[in-house]
Amino acid sequence: MAEETNFESSFLDFTGMPESMDALLQNTESSNTFTKGKIIEGTIIVKRNDGVEVDIGYKAEGFIPASEFTKFDEVNVGDKIDVYLEEIENRHNRPELSLEKANSIKAWNRITTEYGEGHVVKGFMRHRVKGGVMVDVEGFPAFLPGSQLDVGPVRNMDDYVGKEFDVKIIKINLDRRNIVVSRRELLEETLKDQRAKLMDDMKVDDLRVGVVKNITDFGAFIDLGGVDGLLHITDISWGRIAHPSEVLTFGQEIEVVIIGIDKDKERVSLGLKQKTRNPWDDVVAKYPKDSKVTGKVVNIMPYGAFVEIETGVEGLIHVSEMSWTKRISKASDVLNIGDEVEAVVLEIDRDSRKISLGLRQKERNPWEVLAEKYPVGKHITGKVRNMTSYGAFVEIENDIDGMIHVSDMSWTRKINNPNEVLKPGQEVEVVILEINPEQQRISLGLKQAEDDPWAKIDELYKVGDVVKGKVTKIAAFGAFVELTNKIDGLIHISQLSKNHVEKVKDLLNVGDDVEARVIKVDLDERRIGLSIKAVSEDFTPEDLRQAEEEYTAALKPGESIVDMGEVFTGLDLE
């Protein structure tokens, strides 16, 4: 009983201390109002370099590190802040608080209920992560992909960390509680509005200052302050340039001219050379026909060389205008890029921007000089330089050749190939038949250097004369014999012997010396008919007449005996 009385007494004594008991009950009730995982309000009572002490009304203060504050330098003692109660008491018997979690929860609730996708909010760039940047959006960590950071390529995402930008919420995943934002979409919308306004303000021929944004092989893109314009390589300079980088550099600020606007496609064409006067406006007055100009070879093609007379003005020296006497196959045989040359203006087409120049015109046409120096009929001596199937070329002077056609090589023979008469390097006497300066052609005659033997054939050969000669050709129908004065006669097969002859080669071969009688002289056809069987002394005039008839009948009217001879030349007529 005493013990019970003592217990009750002590309980009564305890309850008899109203102030202490009230305080105990108050503390107990206060402790019971704190719930783990809830957001409560606290007051900053102490600020240190590493963080702040926060009074939440509990028996002990909580601590929040400075890293959880977005702008710690703006935090002051007495500030009210919402904090998340992670633990009522930690191992230090103090409440475990988190500002970040409180802000995150409040931000998530606000974003999902008040904002939603498409809303624009402030975002503080916290730190880099794989593929992008973590952004503090009103206290909630959102992901900003690197591709959505800016309108252009981002070289270093670290340059954006620690800065605040407007961002657009583009994706909210309620299940995973994550948010994706974009800065690029806002910039593009802003740029679109700027482009539209800028496009409306632009006019053709306006001068605009821009920055070289990109350089390609075909030109450069210039940023005009929200609109990119193309400065094509052909509009950079009136002169010739191989690449835009010869004139422009990345990041360079330049003044350009608006030369074209396509508002539908938002395309702007720019010009740099258009700021100066077109040099082709004055070419006709500055470079009249036949005037001499000096310039530099800037490009060479097989067909000619382009010469820059002044910046933006080029002329073409065609290979045909490089030499009066030499045949130039390609321009690089005469000129090289960078050569300084003097040329003559031959023609100007201002509309097509073409100037024809001549290199050879600096000197007088040697063909005209030759025409004065070598009149038609003049005899000259030259060396055979080369031959073709139709003639031989003889050097006159200074690499100028004249041609002897095969038809002008012999008065008496049909020449099939010039090698029958001439050979390279041979000195020959020829006659000037014609000089054509325009076509640069000289016609020469070899036979004209001698008298035509047929002009006095009646003095040389008469029907009935016995003559001697050498067999030069064998044909199926007879043999050709060279007589004096280079005149050929034909012994028809019927005139080889009184007996029947099957083949000419049965009796004669090339090179044989023969004796024959003239049985026919045809001045019109320039034919001399010969007969071996008529050589005998007992050959009567009647026999001679009969032989002539046989000869005439054997040849078709109008058929050249020489033509027939050439058909069989070189054939094995066994």
Largest Cα–Cα distance of the chain, in whole Å?
A: 203
Express each pLDDT in 495-544 by its tens digit: 888 888 889 998 999 999 999 999 888 887 788 899 898 887 777 788 78
> pLDDT band at residue 308, thresholds of 50, 70 and 90?
very high
Tokens 């200074």 belong to 398
Q: Which fold has domain 117-187?
A: OB fold (Dihydrolipoamide Acetyltransferase, E2P) (2.40.50)
CA distances from 440 to 59, 323, 361, 401, 566 (A): 120, 11, 14, 10, 32
Express each pLDDT in 431-481 by its tens digit: 999 988 878 889 999 988 888 888 888 888 888 889 899 998 898 889 999
Q: Which residues pair with 166 in a beta bridge?
A: 122
Express each pLDDT in 342-381 by its tens digit: 999 999 988 888 999 999 888 888 878 888 888 899 999 9
Average pLDDT, the chain: 84
> pLDDT band at residue 317, thresholds of 50, 70 and 90?
very high
State how far Cα 52 lies from the chain centre. Answer: 70
> pLDDT band at residue 40, thresholds of 50, 70 and 90?
very high
Structure token digits, residue 428: 């020959």
Residue 135's pLDDT is: 92
Q: Which CATH superfamily is domain 34-115 in?
A: Nucleic acid-binding proteins (2.40.50.140)
Q: Which fold has domain 453-568?
A: OB fold (Dihydrolipoamide Acetyltransferase, E2P) (2.40.50)
Residue 4's pLDDT is: 37
Q: Which CATH superfamily is domain 366-449 in?
A: Nucleic acid-binding proteins (2.40.50.140)
Q: Which residues pair with 516 in a beta bridge?
A: 467
CA distances from 415 to 114, 408, 491 (A): 111, 9, 19
State how far Cα 33 lies from the chain centre. Answer: 83
Give which of 232, 253, 256 is closest to 244, Cα–Cα.
Answer: 232
> pLDDT band at residue 198, thresholds of 50, 70 and 90?
confident
Q: What is the 3-state secondary structure (H, E, C) of 245-295?
A: HHCCCCCCEEEEEEEEEECCCCEEEEECHHHCCCHHHHHHHHCCCCCEEEE
Pick the CATH number of 279-362 from 2.102.10.10, 3.90.1010.10, 2.60.40.420, 2.40.50.140: 2.40.50.140
Express each pLDDT in 90-131 by its tens digit: 888 899 999 988 888 888 888 888 888 888 989 999 899 999
Q: Are 493 and 501 in contact (CB under 8 A)?
A: yes
> pLDDT band at residue 31, thresholds of 50, 70 and 90?
very low
Taken in order 372, 373, 378, 380, the sign of the CA dihedral is negative
Residue 1, pLDDT > 70, answer: no
Q: Are 298 and 306 in contact (CB under 8 A)?
A: yes
Q: Which fold has domain 202-275?
A: OB fold (Dihydrolipoamide Acetyltransferase, E2P) (2.40.50)
Q: Backbone phi, then psi, for 557, in 5-degree steps?
A: -60, 130
Express each pLDDT in 199-258 by its tens digit: 888 888 889 899 999 999 999 999 888 788 899 998 998 888 889 998 999 999 999 999
Residue 3's pLDDT is: 38
In this prediction, residues 35-60 reach a mean pLDDT of 91
End-to-end CA distance of the chain: 172
Give the three-class secondary structure for 146. helix
Neighbours of 264 (CB within 10 A): 5
Residue 388, pLDDT > 70, answer: yes
